[in-house]
Amino acid sequence: MNKERLKGNLDMLLLSVLAAGPAHGYAVITALRGRSEGEFDLPEGTVYPALHRLEGAGLLSSSWSDADGRRRRVYALTGQGETALAGQRTEWKRFSSGIGAVLGWQA
């Protein structure tokens, strides 16, 4: 998978993973890899700035807890994030069906 193309859609993918419920960074990255069947495999450390950026934009919220004697940051989708995700899903559906039409694929 072209890494640049993945980076352009990373925000939507992270929001989508967190739509299933709050999770910490490692769980988000593992879920992303699992749900994409290994297709999406970015260097794990570079995903965190995207999570922080989404939190700064109000699409995610985070809280700290203790896990195994370590500090753990758990992210959750906000109402604003749900709205943004719904919009991005609609946009992606339109985009991918347009691409499919041009490439001659069945919808």
Stretch that binds other proteins, among 8-16, 19-27, 82-90, 96-104 (CB under 8 A): 19-27
Q: Are 18 and 28 in contact (CB under 8 A)?
A: yes
CB-nearer residue toward other proteins: 15 or 29: 29
Distance CA 20, CA 87 (A): 17
In the stretch 34-73, what mask flags binding to other proteins with x, by CB under 8 A? ---------xxxx-xx-----------------xx-xxxx
CB-nearer residue toward other proteins: 24 or 35: 24
Q: Which two tokens stand for residue 27?
A: 């769980």
Report CA 106 to chain centroid distance, whole Å: 27
